[in-house]
Structure 1
Amino acid sequence: MRKYIISVFVFLFFLGHLKAQEVQKDSVSSQQETNIKEVTINWKKGLIKSKIDGLVYNIQSDPESNSKNLLEMMKKMPYLSVDSNENILFKGTGNFKILMNGKETQLLNNNAKDILRNIPANTIQSIEIITNPSSKYEAEGVAGIINIITTKKMRDGYNASVNIGARFPKQEQNLGFSLNLKQNKIGISAYGGAFLRNSPETENQNKQQTSSDNLLQNGKIKEKGKGGYLGTIVSYEIDSLKLLSIQLAGNVSGSRTENQLDSYFYGQDIPWEKSFSDIHSKNNDRGFEVSANYQMGFKKNKSQLLTFSYRLSDNNNHFESSSAIFNDKVNTQNQTTQNNQNENNEQTFQIDFVKNINKIFLETGLKAIFRKNRSEYASVPENLNNSDEYLNHQNIYGAYLSARYTLLGWNFQTGLRLENTTNKADFTSTNTAVNQDYFNLIPNVSINKNWKEHHSINFGFSQRIKRPGINRLNPFVNTANPYFEISGNPYLKAVINNDIMTNYSYNSKVNFNIGLGYSFSNKIDLKVSTYDPATHITKTTYENSSKVSRFGLDYNLNYPVTKKLTLGINGNSAVFLITGKAEGIEVKNNLFTYYIYLSANYQLENSWSVNSNLEINSKMPAGLQNNTNAFTGTSFRVSKSLLNNQFSISGYINNPFSKFRTIITETAGANFYQNSYMKDYYRSFGVNVTYKFGKLKEEIKSTRRKIENNDVAN
């Protein structure tokens, strides 16, 4: 920790030295002139704006957006954080939804980390952080919604951006673009990108202890991956009252992993088995989606809008692994091949109607979702327990009513959502089925008060449904590691999540936000691991056997010390209380956690800027029986803008003091304890280049109601 603190002091000393030079320069006679113009930050736009259901973060008002990608920017936004694998967390959980311009896109459902890392932050207008989604949103289990706003007001014309980035030594390269085009009544927004990843070989280790035996595994792993995505939204303004928009998107990705594993199995300190495993696996994913939204206005009442929406999405995933296992004790060799083909298809129909009645804004609508998931899996040599065809049909029918109004200076938003769910699963080989049919009435309340222009306070309560996705339902058993079996559970049920929150915001030149929240769920589907002493195999699956509650404090502060120096802090502290059963024995996993992200940005002359960040993550729960270790990281960045901010280039180094980071996962079972660690490259350096061109002044119109399926936990 001392080396990280020293680095922060060095950076602050550097900023102080720059500030001293600035003061000295100002003391020179005012008659001296310079051709270098001072870089200023326009705080009049406001960095953060409070809403009744959350916050809006204006990225264009943040000077760091010129040198960072969207994933890096999210680390400093209220209620958001990043875990050890660079996955975004919302109020400490990964159970949330990401929208783009108010619309769901499959790209961000399946591949969010790679996509967000490929989007330059300065091509994004703002981020909506919806902490208490209203009843118009799908009721399924989200802790919140992140809505990425890309477009702004524009006239006929176009604007575009191209970005290129590279990071080493993990050899990651990415290329991306965005385009906005408007001509008369037609508007087009397009975005796309591609990435390559070649991770050098790293080490991993797994230790497991039981009352009668021990297992030690030492491994080496390396991975190659690549992928691409493309999306577009086309809108056509039929007339002043009718608007049609169509969205198309597609993605492909693939990865190859090589894992060499030495396993040593001991019984009472006597070596029973010694084996070497050579594991090769491939994972290929492809998907596409198309959606259409038709919006109708009314001449007699401009507040009325009627919208018809349809969305089709399809995703296919193919996993294949081959394991060659050599047992030195008995001099035998076994070869195992596994295949799992997943196909996920979803169709959504939706009708929305909005209208003002006096001072009450009403929203109502109907929605139907038809999901079809299919998994065909097999093992060679054939294993009857792991060769089957699994079919899952899930239909959801919903209706909602939401009202927003003002009373005695307070703003209220209340609503109800009724949903009926039918779930049917079939197993071809055993001719067995799972049938579920249930109703849920979901309430929502948001209360907001604004005063003295800059102050705002919010209160909210909502319930959401967490339905398990195909990754948790799929009964395919991954046996690539001979001592561990991992599978889904087709008998999982939906879970109700309750969320109570309050938030205070002060947004002016200084931006300060603080929120308190309490959420809890019963019979939530978490991973459960059990050890079989007869076979010496640890089996992991999901079970509806746990209770989870979180009491959390989220805070965010952005302070412009001077026109050139900006300091910020984003973080949270939370108490997680997790209880459940494994093999009939009660298990508790209670933890106090915290996340702190400190940032400092200094604007130099001639459009240069320097930036430093310090990130501190505590130990975190990873399920009923699992915890991951704490970690600390630093980053330093220098960037330069040219051509009136149209061209920007930045270079950075992350974690210069640590070449590797050890990711440790602890698992405590009823009759075993497991400690797994994996080394990963932590020190990295890279460069990003972005070029923006074109002009637009009038907004590309988009329908105000779209399909948003904010639901499935994968």
Structure 2
Amino acid sequence: MKPLKSLLSAFLLAVSGILAAQTSIPGSEINGSVKDGNQKPVDYATVSLIRVADSVAVKTMMTDENGKFSFKNIPGSEYQVSVNQIGHSKYLSEKLKIDEKVPVQQLRSVTLSPDSKQLKQVNVTVQKPAIERKGDKLILNVENSSVSAGSTALEVLQRAPGVSLDKDDNVALKGRQGVLIMIDGKPTYLSSADLANMLRNMQSNEIESIEIINNPSARYEAEGKSGIINIKLKKNKNYGTNGTFTLGSGYSSKRKSNTGITMNNRNEKLNVFGNYNYNNNRGEHNMTIDRVNAGQASSAIFNQTANSERSWYNNNFKVGADVFLNKNNTIGALMTGYINQWSEAQSNGTLIRSMQGSLDSSLLSKNDSRSNYNNLSYNFNFKSVLDTAGRELTIDLDHANNNSKSKMLYDNVYAYSSGGQSVTEVLRNLTPSEIDIYAMKADYTHPLAKSFKLEAGFKLSWVKTDNDYQANRFENQLWENDPLRSNHFVYNESVRAGYVNVRKEFKNTNIQIGVRTEHTKSKGNLITTGQVVERDYLDFFPSAAINHTLNDNNSIGITYSRRITRPAYSDLNPFEYFLDRYTYNQGNPFLNPEYTNTFELSYTLLKKYNASLSYTKTTDVMTQVLLPDPEKSALYQTNANLAEQLSYALNVSAPVTFTKWWNSNTNLTVFNNHFTSPDLNGQVLDNKQTAFQVHHSENFTLNSSTSVELSGNYQSKLIYGTFLVQPQYAVDFGMNKSLMAKKVNLKLAVSDIFKTRRGKISSAYPGLDYKVNQRFDSRAVRLTLSYKFGNNELKESRKRSTGLDSEAGRVKN
């Protein structure tokens, strides 16, 4: 705590010094917008504020994606606004006076005319930085990244600053698990493997950027204790028809390939859009588990080795339409889905030794699994702009159906060193599952004044999951039901939610305060045994944020939020899944949701250097644990509630531009996690450790059509719950080449060049001794070709936040 207090003291002293240096007129600003001759917004135009007295440019900025700009906190004087954009004549405004009586000036709309002296053709490239900070968001720009070429969304996510994935695809942000994943603003969860299957389907060529939001407002779902990761997909800009065709191939230990097409047709009354992507990946996975089964009647040493070959065959698609009834009202329909196949052939060998080291027995297990995952989701939506003051209403009605069928075959052979006859055991698991989700939601925005906005809304959702676990044993040449392992589990859940959120803008300060309430009723019914678990609870989730601009180069912010993470549906299911007889996974129907309170203090320098200090307290911490099963001499993985987790984190982001052709970015997170539980399987747990993660990238623009990117990340040793995770690191490389007036794009990517990305964990649970080593198929070379056709300035298809995605995200594939 002492280093943290010292950092905070230094932080506040620096802020005090900056406050004393202010000379601008509070609340002063000059606003405007820039359009071209066709009255279309001009983005990334250079806008300068010129002081008339000495012709000095006191401030310079670029227009945003809507062509708008705003100079704030301006010293009193007389100014002119200068606008420059390649291919257009320079614009110089009339004189504008800023003083105490007239602190705000609205510049009339600026229209740029073509430069009569311009070349016949000018290609302008605006290269976004690899990592940037905007307000409360940390943004990873994926669209132009050559390192990400040919990768899946899951692989891209793993490279995001402060984000890490463990062996089971649990996502952690700043060392804390429980992250809410959003796609174009549509909320969804990622807990364990909940969304891993969906994100493996999504290719990097579909992604524009990844936004990381640590403390969201009450308008967002209360799910996700660590914050939100929003994956923004690519968009288009004008009327007409366009599309992109992508073809990729790669190789690691096995071949990889992907292809896809995106199309969009838009006119003044109708927009029709859709895409299809196919992904065929093969890979290898190797794992060893060494453990000591000590302090029991059957004390022994277990050495386990598992080698597997995995295959994914994924098809995902989207089709939708928006009808523009008039300039203020739009209705739309959307259908999304996937049809996926997964297979794995695994060979496991276990050597069992006495405590003195002599071989006692062995187990050879061959496991084959085949799974099919299918999903269809439907959304009907309506958006209305009620008046010119900014009142808006959106309504969404949703339904999703997820079904899966898995078949797992276990062939076990037991042999004894004493020379006795070996024993063969053949088992089979059939696991059909179906999940139905219904949801409706409405969001309303009402400006109470020019700088005062009210947001309110509600959401209703209903979920039913039906899981039939059929365990069979092959005996006497017949498959016979195993009643001790077969289960039928049905889970029902309903959530009723409402929120109110207000935003107020003062001269140099923005304040947002909100509260969300959610009433949850659930019932888990283990039909086979008659065991029923029911819950009924009401929660309130307040949030607040204050952002203050000290001057043009310095700003600070303070945020607070309370959030919840509910168990994934399958984590509540008490079924057993076997690696072999001595290692298995089991659900926990008694899991409670966890609650998190987060405070964060942030500072931004020169609008690009960022630092933040955060404190988080989580109760009833849901986490994966590895525990001993003395009766079976086994090790099993399950989810359990720990009493408490305290987290402290310092994050620093520093982008640096060396020249026009060379820039870099460094993102560093230092955090301390402290887990406590008075009784975890009969043991007291008290684990804590300080760790850090660093992500660094170097970007080189060789010419207007060629760029190179080199990036690396390192995570130090850390403790999470009952796991001690060893350091992880990797280096990635990418090259991007544009051809045919940028209609053709060729990307070469090499991930994990030195093949160092692996998982090593050991026990941080008292009295349990094990080590797990995993090597992933992480080093891969990928070549991706994309071709754009049609009108490349097509307007974007309307983004919408559907009402069922947060529930659909808790589907575990």
* TM tier, smaller: 0.7 to 0.9
Distance 1:131 1:201 in 2: 33
Deviation, 1:205, is 4.4
One-letter amino acid of the structure 2 residue matched with residue 635 of structure 1: D
Cα gap change, 1:279 to 1:697, in 2 (>3 Å): closer
- Residue 238 of structure 1 aligns with which residue? 325
**Alpha-carbon distance in 1 for matches of 2:433, 2:246:** 33
Aligned residue identity for 1:394? E
Q: Does residue 1:692 correspond to 2:808, yes or no?
A: no
Q: Distance in 1 between matches of 2:369 and 2:128?
A: 53
- Which residue identity lines up with residue 632 of structure 1 in the other structure? Y
**Which whole-Å CA distance do the structure 2 matches of 1:677 and 1:686 have between them?**
26
Q: Does residue 585 of structure 1 match 2:669?
A: no
**Structure 1 counterpart SS, 2:699:** strand
Q: Following the alignment from structure 2 to structure 1, what is the Cα–Cα distance between the partners of residues 341 and 802?
A: 30
Amino acid corresponding to residue 427 of structure 2 in structure 1: T
Q: By how many angstroms is 1:703 displaced?
A: 6.6
SS of corresponding position for 1:252: strand
Q: Which runs of 5 or more residues in structure 2 are unaligned? A: 1-118, 474-480
Deviations 1:175-208 (A, max 9, x none): 2333332122112332331111222474644434
Deviates more, 1:367-376 or 1:638-647: 638-647
**What SS does the corresponding residue of 2:204 show, helix, strand or coil?**
coil
Task: Give RMSD over aligned pairs.
Answer: 3.1
Counterpart secondary structure, 1:386? coil
Residue 683 of structure 1 and its aligned partner are, at CA, apart by 3.5
The answer to whether residue 204 in structure 2 is matched with residue 119 in structure 1 is yes
Which residue in the other structure is 1:97 paired with?
180
Whole-Å Cα distance in 1 between the matches of residues 156 and 470 of structure 2? 43
Task: Name the residue aligned to 2:428.
Answer: 337
Q: Does 2:300 align with 1:213? A: yes
Partner of residue 371, structure 2: 283
Change (3 A) 1:110 1:221: closer
Q: Distance in 1 between matches of 2:793 and 2:366?
A: 58
Counterparts in 2 of 1:150 and 1:140: CA distance versus 1, 3 Å:
closer
Asked if the contact 2:189–2:223 (Cα under 8 Å) also holds between the matched residues in 1, the reply is: no
Q: CA deviation at 1:242?
A: 1.5
Aligned ranges 1:256-267 → 2 under 5 Å: 256-267=343-354
Residues 1:369 and 2:468 aligned together: no
Tell me how many residue pairs correspond in the alignment.
Answer: 669
Shift of 1:638: 2.7
AA aligned to 2:204 is I
Conserved in 2, the CA contact under 8 Å of 1:159 and 1:692?
A: yes
- Per the alignment, residue 172 of structure 1 pairs with 256
Q: Report the equivalent of 2:769.
A: 673
Deviation at 1:462? 0.4
Q: Give the CA deviation at 1:411.
A: 0.4
Contact 2:414 2:424 in 1 (8 A): yes
Using the TM superposition, give the Cα deviation of residue 95 of structure 1 relative to its aligned residue in structure 2, in angstroms. 2.1
- Answering whether residue 561 of structure 2 is matched by residue 462 of structure 1, we say yes
Matched, 1:158 2:241: yes
- Equivalent residue for 2:583, pick from 456, 462, 484: 484
SS, match of residue 659 in structure 2? coil
Residue 132 of structure 1 aligns to which amino acid in structure 2? N
Bigger radius of gyration, 1 or 2?
2
Paired residue for 1:554?
A: 651
Contact 1:41 1:564 in 2 (8 A): no
User: CA shift at 1:552, angstroms?
Assistant: 1.2
CA separation in 2, counterparts of 1:85 and 1:173? 24
Q: 1:137 maps to which residue?
A: 220
2:349 matched to 1:251?
no
Among all aligned residue pairs of Structure 1 and Structure 2, give the percentage whose two residues are the same amino acid: 20
Q: Given the alignment of the two structures, is residue 444 of structure 1 paired with residue 547 of structure 2, yes or no? A: no
Deviation, structure 1 residue 710: 4.3
Contact 1:40 1:563 in 2 (8 A): no
Output the amino acid matched with 1:119: S
The Cα of 1:477 is off from its aligned counterpart by 0.8
Contact 1:87–1:113 under 8 Å retained in 2:
no
CA distance 1:188–1:103, change in 2 (3 Å): farther
In structure 2, relative to structure 1, the CA distance for the partners of 1:236 and 1:690 (3 Å cut) is: same
**1:598 match:** 696
Q: Deviation per CA, 1:131-167: give whole Å up to 9, x if none.
A: 2211111212342223333465733113322222222
Q: Is 1:292 matched up with 2:383? A: no
Deviates more, 1:314-323 or 1:661-670: 661-670
2:668 is matched with 571
The residue matched to 2:381 in structure 1 has which SS?
strand
Flag the 1:225–1:272 CA change in 2: closer, same or farther, 3 A: same
1:217-255 Cα distance to aligned partner (Å, 9 max, x none): 223222122111111342111112211122210012222
On the 8 A contact 1:366/1:400 being kept in 2, the answer is yes
Distance 1:47 1:678, change over 3 A: closer
Counterpart Cα distance in 2 of 1:84 and 1:537: 20
1:542 to 639, 648, 654: 639
Whether the 8 Å contact between 1:616 and 1:632 is mirrored in structure 2 is yes
Residues 256 and 281, structure 1, Cα contact 8 Å, conserved in 2: yes
Give CA deviations for 1:653-700 in whole Å, capped at 9, x if unaligned.
Answer: 334444x75532213444431112123344332212222233254644
Q: Residue 472 of structure 1: SS of its match in structure 2?
A: helix
Instruction: Give CA deviations for 1:39-78 in whole Å, capped at 9, x if unaligned.
Output: 9863799974533x53556666x67589575666656655
Change in CA separation of 1:81 and 1:642 when aligned onto 2, cut-off 3 Å: farther
Q: Relative to 1, partners in 2 of residues 1:606 and 1:578: Cα closer, same or farther, differing over 3 Å? A: same
For 1:12, the equivalent position in structure 2 comes to none
Deviation at 1:311, TM superposition (A): 1.3
Residue among 182, 186, 208 paired with 2:266: 182
> Of the two structures, which has the highest relative contact order with CA contacts closer than 8 Å and spacing of 6 or more?
1
**CA distance in 1: counterparts of 2:372 and 2:155, whole angstroms:** 27
Equivalent in the alignment of 2:63: none
